[in-house]
Amino acid sequence: MALIQISEPGQSSAEQKHHLAAGIDLGTTNSLVATVRDGQPETLADADGHHLLPSAVQYSPDASPLTGRAAKDKSSVDPQNTILSVKRLMGRGMADIEKSNDRLSYQFINEDSTVPRIKTAGGNVSPIEVSAEILTALKKRAEKELGDELEGVVVTVPAYFDDAQRQATKDAAKLAGLNILRLLNEPTAAAIAYGLESQSEGVYAIYDFGGGTFDISILRLNRGVFEVLATAGDSALGGDDLDHVITDWLIESSGLNKEIGQNQYRELWHQACQAKERLSQQDVVELSVKIEAAPVWQGTLSRTQLNELIDPLIRKTLAPCRRALRDAGVTVEDIDEIVMVGGSTRAPRVRELVGEFYGKNPLVSIDPDRIVALGAAIQADILIGNKSHEDILLLDVIPLSLGIETMGGLVEKVIRRNTTIPITRAQEFTTFKDGQTAMSVHVLQGERELVVDCRSLAKFELHDIPPMVAGAARIRVTFQVDADGLLSVTAQETTTHAESHVEVKPSYGLEDAEIERMLKDSISHASEDVEARNVREQQVEADRVLFALDAALQSDGNTLLTKEELSKIADASSVLRQARNESNAATIKKAIKDLDKETMEFAARRMDKSIHKALTGHSVTEFNEEN
Amino acid sequence: MQNYFELFDLPVSFDVDPDMLAVRYRTLQQHVHPDKYVTSSAQERRLSIQHAAHINDAFEALKNPLKRAQYLLELKGMAVNESGAGLDHGFLMEQMELRETLEAIPEAEDPLAALDHFLAEISNYEKEFVETLRSQFAVSTEESLSQANIAVKKLQFINKLKEETIELEDQLY
């Protein structure tokens, strides 16, 4: 596909420093990395010219893990140690995995962590570590191709991913040593790539049916603003499920009982995948099942039969389609275009049923595999500051409601689904015992009324509440969802203004200490010094702080600050400048913190000024925009 | 702290020009959204999230007629409580009948069509109360504001009913 040229006219790219940034589509079946070069987004290929990296990792006792094609090739011969579709396990607990229909060929170990580990010949690994291997492979590919280290990446996630699944993805990127600029919702990424290419305006439905997840997003495109009106989906429904019903049919038809070995199952599964793909082109396929090279069954699968098998699953995607329309406040007639994304939308039956639902043919001219990575690359390029699309604005939403547990196992909603992010909501609590100094807030995500029907995210334990009589303390708990769709919680006692310490106990995520340990492990594998890495990270932050401060002082220092304030800031920044060159992470960190305190008021005044400036002279721009 | 109307530089009124509100909302977000501060210091990133969240809240409150009315009454020191006090008998009877209709939807011959029909009916009530609000706020005397207060309460009932209907839709489909 050809995307429009977006570099500014009259400004050659050599005039300003080009920052290396990439977009990564971390998919269930395949993953991709893309970047913007000379104003054009493009996916990057490996040495053999392949763009898609199969999301497969194979572990062995003594060598480092294999990824991609090499790993996928081992999946039938070494199913216990070859991890496929790991995305389906991200942010999930043992109970979820046992409940799912997936026939997983690996053994799980539920140690003392809330994150299950997979037992492999290369040790016990969490889904986060497996994903980090895939990300590392893509990072290496990009850095080899671009000739230098990546400064930042945008990683895509299904729009319908909950908080735990998003956090797990972010942790994986951190583990792979990537500086993550933003988690971007896959349908939104597709909308950016498509919207910029076609320069379209209007209301779009992005139907994203991938290997393991389904998303539907309704967006309004208007003068460079991509506003998500609503999103819905199913984070455990994808092409994998289609393959499983075909595999089960194959097993049943060939008279093999379901207790066949893992190797045999994976082989049949491969056959099922191929049959599904071939039936996109032809009306009937011949199949033959062999055991140890001896044929045991021969038969055919027609497209009509296939449709009967997969129809119930495809129809499951239509309920979210209806709900998204309702939540967006639009009707099918309002939809200007339906954009199909994800490998599963290649199936003609999917296009047919989606077309029927919307009463109009979906757009299939774009490459459904690559569009998400291309959109992510464009967003990464903007965020890192390669100023090609200065006025683009992305407004996304939270896919699932956030609530807290109240008396009787009920959930009270704090933030409703499809609220534009970032968002903050405050809720007041009080103590019910004299002298109570701690309390626990259980946060859940989902739409149902009962705690048991929602997904537990975390228990936030508030400590250091000043002791008072029962009911006297007023604890204001603030829930904040950032632009990545991730939740954080802070708490304050409002009568004494005492800041409560909040301890997070994630229900299905890694605790900070675990991430720290994994990071250390991964670094020691890479034979890199942990302290050296910490120092480098702090230096990067110090440079960022100093650079931003210099620019801020240049434009607003004299107008927004008194002489006294200026000199205090100058002192604190020279302390940081000096600390930056000494190789001690703790010293740099402290100097950043001190400067941060000194500049807090300045930053707030600048933000207010910026808001004020945005609307002065608005009558002129509005006149232009409305005419 | 500026109130929501000041933030968008709009007059304090129930009548808000939706297009102008949307344009100003986007203009403000162009300046403060966290995407514009990805490479800034942690401090600026924090501030940007806070401001962007505040602007989102303000936009939501002014865009939606019920929330806008609630906010206006709050500004005038007349925050609306959730109780049914002050509602007339006729309205409460109507509500009971509407609830009975809602409960009967799953047993209807074509539940989804019945549900669509019911939503359309609710939407008529919605329009009626929004019109009441518009005229009462236009007068803006103590008497008319207390009428607006009652209209807000009615609209809250209707809104709750609408939410439950949409929840039912999820289960039916």
In chain A, which residues have their Cβ closer than 8 Å to the Cβ of B56?
Answer: 419-423
Closest chain B residue to the Cα of A415, Cα to Cα = B57
The answer to whether the CB atoms of B31 and A424 lie below 8 A apart is no
- Domain ranges within chain A, ordered by starting residue: 239-312, 402-510, 529-615
User: In the prediction, which pLDDT does A315 show?
Assistant: 93
* Position A513 pLDDT exceeds 80: no
The answer to whether the CB atoms of B170 and A319 lie below 8 A apart is yes
Gyration radius of chain B's alpha carbons:
20
Q: Which single residue is written with the structure tokens 């991609």?
A: A68
Which of A181, A423, A611 has its CB closest to that of B28?
A611
CB pairs under 8 A between A and B: 121
Find the largest Cα–Cα distance for chain B: 60
pLDDT band of residue A112 (cuts 50, 70, 90) is: low
Provide the token pair at A408.
Answer: 């009787």
Looking at residue A89, what DSSP letter applies?
G
Helical axes A239-253 vs A262-278, angle rounded to 10°: 110
Q: What is the ipTM of this complex?
A: 0.90
Cα A401 from Cα A127, distance rounded (Å): 25
The domains found in chain B, sorted by start residue, are 4-63 (1.10.287.110), 89-172 (1.20.1280)
For the stretch A179-192, pLDDT in tens is 999 999 999 999 99
Cα B80 from Cα B74, distance rounded (Å): 8
Average pLDDT over residues A92-119: 78
For the stretch A377-432, pLDDT in tens is 999 999 998 865 567 899 999 999 999 998 888 999 999 999 999 999 998 888 88
pLDDT band of residue A345 (cuts 50, 70, 90) is: very high
Which of A419, A420, A611 has its CB closest to that of B51?
A611
Q: Rounded to an integer, what is the distance from CA B36 to the centroid of its chain? A: 29
Contact between A254 and A299 under an 8 Å Cβ cutoff? The reply is yes
For the stretch A232-278, pLDDT in tens is 998 889 988 999 999 999 888 888 776 677 788 888 888 898 999 89
Which of A384, A544, A607 has its CB closest to that of B41?
A544
Contact between B133 and B148 under an 8 Å Cβ cutoff? The reply is yes
Looking at residue A108, what DSSP letter applies?
E
The answer to whether the CB atoms of B30 and A395 lie below 8 A apart is no
The answer to whether the CB atoms of B167 and A319 lie below 8 A apart is no
For the stretch A446-466, pLDDT in tens is 888 889 888 888 888 888 888
When mean pLDDT is compared across A329-338, A391-400, B122-131, B136-145, the lowest value belongs to B136-145
Distance from CA of A594 to the nearest CA of B (A): 12
**Domain A239-312 top-level CATH class:** alpha beta
**Domain A402-510 top-level CATH class:** mainly beta
Contact between A236 and A88 under an 8 Å Cβ cutoff? The reply is yes
The answer to whether the CB atoms of B43 and A600 lie below 8 A apart is yes
* Position A624 pLDDT exceeds 60: no
Phi, psi of A161 (to 5 degrees): -60, 135
* Position B16 pLDDT exceeds 70: yes
Distance from CA of A610 to the nearest CA of B (A): 7
User: In the prediction, which pLDDT does A318 show?
Assistant: 93
CA angle A415, A418, A424 (to 5 degrees): 35
Average pLDDT over residues A118-123: 90
The three-state DSSP-derived secondary structure of chain B is: CCCHHHHCCCCCCCCCCHHHHHHHHHHHHHHHCHHHHCCCCHHHHHHHHHHHHHHHHHHHHHHCHHHHHHHHHHHCCCCCCCCCCCCCHHHHHHHHHHHHHHHHHHHCCCHHHHHHHHHHHHHHHHHHHHHHHHHHHHHCCHHHHHHHHHHHHHHHHHHHHHHHHHHHHHHHC
Q: Rounded to an integer, what is the distance from CA B146 to the centroid of its chain? A: 18
Contact between A251 and A275 under an 8 Å Cβ cutoff? The reply is no
Return the CATH number of the domain spanning residue range A529-615: 1.20.1270.10
The answer to whether the CB atoms of A541 and B42 lie below 8 A apart is yes
pLDDT band of residue A316 (cuts 50, 70, 90) is: very high
Residues of B with CB under 8 A from a CB of A: 7-9, 19-20, 23-24, 26-35, 38-44, 47-54, 56-57, 59-60, 166-167, 169-170, 173
